């Protein structure tokens, strides 16, 4: 009897998601330099960054069964060299770190920026912007 070794080639969900995350990160750098409107460029970068971080957090949850705690935060996505979800954490359009909260209720997470003023709260252009109020 002849044994045949059959190898099936294809991509895993993780590989596809990593490629999508890389594309989104690249887009977040290219878009601001192409667009000549600073407010719109910042808004686009913020939206892309938040969606990229959200995708990485979803992959983390698939692998670990839960989102990172608020204490460990987004660092969990870049710490493990064997299972890195992001190469590095992006900064918001104003050069500040993105904020993360996992209140543990209803499987929801918050990813946000304090906005242009870098302070909690605010209104207008200085308001906090996150995955709950990103404009499409």
Q: What's the pLDDT tens digit per position in 38-75?
A: 777 788 899 999 999 999 999 999 998 889 988 888 99
Contacts of 36 (CB under 8 A, 6+ apart): none
- Distance CA(116)–CA(126), nearest Å, equals 5
- Distance CA(116)–CA(118), nearest Å, equals 6
Note the helical H segments in the chain. Answer: 13-34, 38-64, 76-79
Give the predicted TM-score (pTM) of the model. Answer: 0.67
Q: What's the pLDDT tens digit per position in 64-112?
A: 888 998 888 899 899 877 788 999 999 999 999 999 998 876 678 899 8
Tally of helices (H runs) and strands (E runs) in the chain: 3, 3
The two beta strands, 99-101 and 110-113, are: antiparallel
According to DSSP, the residues that pair with 113 across neighbouring strands are 129
């Amino acid at each position: 009897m002849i044994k045949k070794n059959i190898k099936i080639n294809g991509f895993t969900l993780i590989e596809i998601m990593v490629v999508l995350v890389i594309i989104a990160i690249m887009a977040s750098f290219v878009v601001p330099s192409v667009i000549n409107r600073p407010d719109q460029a910042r808004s686009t970068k913020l939206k892309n960054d938040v969606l990229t971080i959200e995708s990485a957090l979803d992959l983390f949850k698939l692998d670990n069964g839960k989102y990172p705690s608020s204490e460990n935060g987004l660092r969990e996505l870049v710490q493990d060299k064997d299972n890195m979800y992001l190469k590095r954490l992006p900064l918001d359009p104003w050069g500040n770190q993105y904020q993360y909260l996992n209140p543990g209720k209803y499987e929801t997470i918050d990813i946000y920026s304090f906005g242009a003023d870098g302070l909690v709260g605010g209104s207008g252009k200085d308001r906090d912007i996150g995955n709950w109020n990103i404009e499409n």
